[in-house]
Chain A
Amino acid sequence: MVHMLQVENVTKNFLGLRALDACSFSLDQGEVTCLVGPNGAGKTTVFDCITGFLNPDAGTIMLNGETITGMNRRKIVQKGIGRSFQNLRLFEELSVIDNVIVCLADDSGNDPITAILRPFHSQKILDRKRGEALKILERVGLEHKADHFVTQISFGQQKLLCIARVLATQAKVMLLDEPTSGLSATALKNMVDVIRQLSAAGMTLLVVEHNTKIVRDIADKIVFMHQGRVLASGVPGDVLERRDLADIYFGGGN
């Protein structure tokens, strides 16, 4: 069976530090996989390697059986892998809806000729994109904030906006880096609902998550990382019961 996304023996070094050491795991269509591990385990580095922000030193990454290692970052997005960032990286001086518009897969109208010489056509494109972006904002429940600036919405809403931006790229595989960290109880519940809905709609998700309760809640599968290695992967019940992993996780290493 071909996995949606398959990471095989991916290794990445930073000047002598082995951030990833022959990592292997796979994601299946419509499943939520939680990437778990202590700080510095290499979770973000995995994201960077999958999305082409870093070139792995060894190993292959395949999307639906097609190798995407070494492909340029834009190409990978077009193939359907979208990501969010641990530190959000929203466009802070733009409005909520513009943050989404800018990320839409539809690249039409993004050139000066259309913008200046065909103003009416350009306006039509913009209106269409606005409509599309609004629909995406509805999926995460932010449509009422569309014309606010990023700085005017709450942290929880900013995190939802990150998801909306990834949705705008028409991703089939979503990589979310700590979407729930720092959220209030209500925002957290909201986020969990959004993730569940995405998964129900067929999205393949890889979510970095620190809270074991939430992991139990949303995960179909867990990948446990430590010091750049995948120590375990499988269904939550199995992985979360393992004492040795819990020790690593809560003991803060070694």
Chain B
Amino acid sequence: MNFFLSYIILAEIFAIVALSTNFLVGVIGIFSVSQAAIMGVGAYAYAIAVMAGIPFPLALLLAITLCALLNVATSLPSLRLEGDYFVVTSFGLQIVATAVFMNWSAVTGGTSGIAGIPAPRFSGLSFDEPENFVFLSTFALGLASAGYWLLMRSSYGRTLHAIRLDELAAVAAGRHVLQMKLGISAVSGAYAGLGGALYAIFMSFIDPSSFEIHVSVLILTMLVVGGARTLAGSILGPFIILAVPQMLTLLALPPHLIGPLRSLAFGVILVSFMLWLPKGLAGRKI
């Protein structure tokens, strides 16, 4: 039972991060392989804040704001330019973030990470147990989905689509393309920060390996499988992809090969979907 609940909770958390990726990859069509890094910043920021005695809502807000700002700051230079700079900054951000998580030991605990992150409690109800936490994660995913839906149907959302479809025509229409992209980049960062904070609460332990580049690839795979630019896609993807490791554990594999095999599977999935189903299962053309 607990096992099943954990699966649900993790899938919900990753669905929030997949939505964050969707804003970039699906909505404005830029590549991102640093979602895990941003998620990690959210997780560390939350953990450090809460353990310093800051109350839950404030710590959460702090994590979200920090991630939004970070995403804007790191994407600013590459968004100002055309072409493939974004690929480089995205890879770079991921690698630098991992280096910081590992090496800034005084704050992040280095390779041993941070353990014993307390779960919030509301009037006697603690979110330690999956039975309770699942309400929190479901609620958060509900809010995130509502936000996504509202944003996409607003005039802002329509403008973002237009920018992806033809940036030059959007400029000719007098739109402030950079400002719009930065706005969505902030939202994307906020979503990843929320996902990271929830992850930290649920696991009560974080270390650099949870936010490595493999995880970023995992998140991208979720989006690609579910399908870009739809709410359904971002939610479906994590539920499917998180089931893959479970299936791998059913095969009796040597333990040291499980990690690489899983990543291999994700690689194969990415390539196959790009070749044969770039829309994903429930998405739109990218």
A and B touch in the complex (CB under 8 A): yes
Cβ–Cβ contact B154 & A102, under 8 A: no
Q: Which of B150, B154, B165, B175 contacts A92 (CB 8 A)?
A: B165
* A93 interface residue (CB < 8 Å to B): yes
Residues of chain B contacted by A98 (CB below 8 angstroms): 158, 161-162
CA distance A161 to B173 in the complex (A): 13
Cβ–Cβ contact B169 & A122, under 8 A: no
CB within 8 Å of B: which A122-165 residues:
122-123, 125-126, 129, 165
Q: Which of B162, B166, B171 contacts A74 (CB 8 A)?
A: B171
Q: Which of B174, B180, B186, B187 contacts A103 (CB 8 A)?
A: B174
* A25 interface residue (CB < 8 Å to B): no
Q: B154 → chain A, closest Cβ, in Å?
A: 4
CA distance A94 to B173 in the complex (A): 15
Cβ–Cβ contact B172 & A115, under 8 A: no
* B8 interface residue (CB < 8 Å to A): no
* B157 interface residue (CB < 8 Å to A): yes
Cβ–Cβ contact A112 & B173, under 8 A: no
Cβ–Cβ contact A74 & B155, under 8 A: no
Cβ–Cβ contact A94 & B165, under 8 A: yes
Query: Number of residues in A with C-beta < 8 Å to the partner?
Result: 38
CA distance A90 to B172 in the complex (A): 11
Q: Which of B150, B174, B180 contacts A116 (CB 8 A)?
A: B150
* B183 interface residue (CB < 8 Å to A): yes
Cβ–Cβ contact A115 & B173, under 8 A: no
* A101 interface residue (CB < 8 Å to B): yes
List 29 contacting pairs A-B, 8 Å CB cutoff, sorted by A: A53-B172, A73-B172, A74-B171, A82-B172, A89-B169, A91-B166, A91-B169, A93-B165, A94-B162, A101-B155, A101-B158, A102-B158, A102-B170, A102-B175, A103-B173, A103-B174, A110-B155, A111-B183, A112-B151, A112-B183, A115-B150, A116-B150, A116-B151, A122-B150, A122-B156, A125-B154, A125-B155, A126-B154, A165-B173
